Amino acid sequence: MRRKLVAGNWKMNGDSAFVSAFSSAIAPNIQALPEGIDVLIAAPTILLPQLCQEFALTRVLVAAQNVSSYASGAYTGETSAEMLSKAGCDACLVGHSERRALFGDTDEVMLSKVRRLLEVEIQPIFCIGETLEQRDLGQASNVVTSQLALLLDNLSSEALGKIAVAYEPVWAIGTGRTASPEQAQAMHERIRDHVRQKDAELAEKMVLLYGGSVNADNSSELFAQPDIDGGLVGGASLQADNFAQICKSIECR
Residue 251 appears among annotated catalytic residues: no
114-99-219-147 Cα dihedral, nearest 10 degrees:
-60
238 backbone dihedrals φ, ψ, rounded to 5°:
-85, -10
DSSP reduced 3-state for 38: strand
Number of residues that make up the chain: 253
Options 96, 98, 130, 188, the catalytic residue: 96
DSSP annotation of 3 reads P
Catalytic residue among 54, 98, 130, 168: 168
168 is known as an active-site residue = yes
Among left, alpha and beta (phi > 0; psi -120 to 50; other), residue 212 is: left
**How far apart are alpha carbons 39 and 55 in whole angstroms?**
11
CA 114, CA 185: separation in Å to the nearest integer? 25
Task: Show which residues are catalytic.
Answer: 96, 168
